[in-house]
Amino acid sequence: MDAAGKPEGARAKITVAEFNKLIDQHLLLAAQFGMRAERIGHGTATLRLRFDAAHIRPGGTIAGPVQMALADVALYAVVMSLLGRVELAVTTSLNINFLKRPGPADLMAHAKILKLGKRLAVGECAIYSDGEDEMVAHVTGTYSIPPA
């Protein structure tokens, strides 16, 4: 068992292809923003947000809400990697610290579970500009898990 109480090496309960299909069919905003899952493990997920000039805000940087949306969907993928397609899991709180203004490039979100409980799942997500190593934003979020 690892720190989040899950068996190490367990398989994700949703695949990259399944999650991307879910984006296309049910997460309209994520689809419109141009998000794709690239890797999903048991309790981890990496998503890419394609750069889009429509996301620029004054100062030439990517708007904060676009970053929040990316983290939120990445954490949703993490929850599904552990529980399968619990589409009715909903975010109950999200906290974001903006660390660096990202330039015009794809954003990469690396999310992982901190704690999977019976009622709540808590995860964190680090966002980077593609190919850079300074963190752009750090997010923690809590999802409410619907009763089984």
What are the residues binding its own copies (CB under 8 A)?
A: 2-5, 26-29, 32, 54-59, 61, 63-66, 68-69, 72, 87-88, 90-101, 114-115, 119-120, 122, 124, 133-135, 138, 140, 142, 144
CB atoms within 10 A of CB 125: 28
Q: How many helices (H) and strands (E) does the chain have?
A: 3, 8
Of the pair 17, 65, the CB lying nearest its own copies is at 65
What is the nearest approach in angstroms of its own copies to the Cβ of residue 20?
15
What is the nearest approach in angstroms of its own copies to the Cβ of residue 19?
13
Locate 13 and state its tokens: 């309960």
CB atoms within 10 A of CB 116: 19
CA contacts within 13 A on the Cβ side of 55: 27
What is the nearest approach in angstroms of its own copies to the Cβ of residue 25?
10
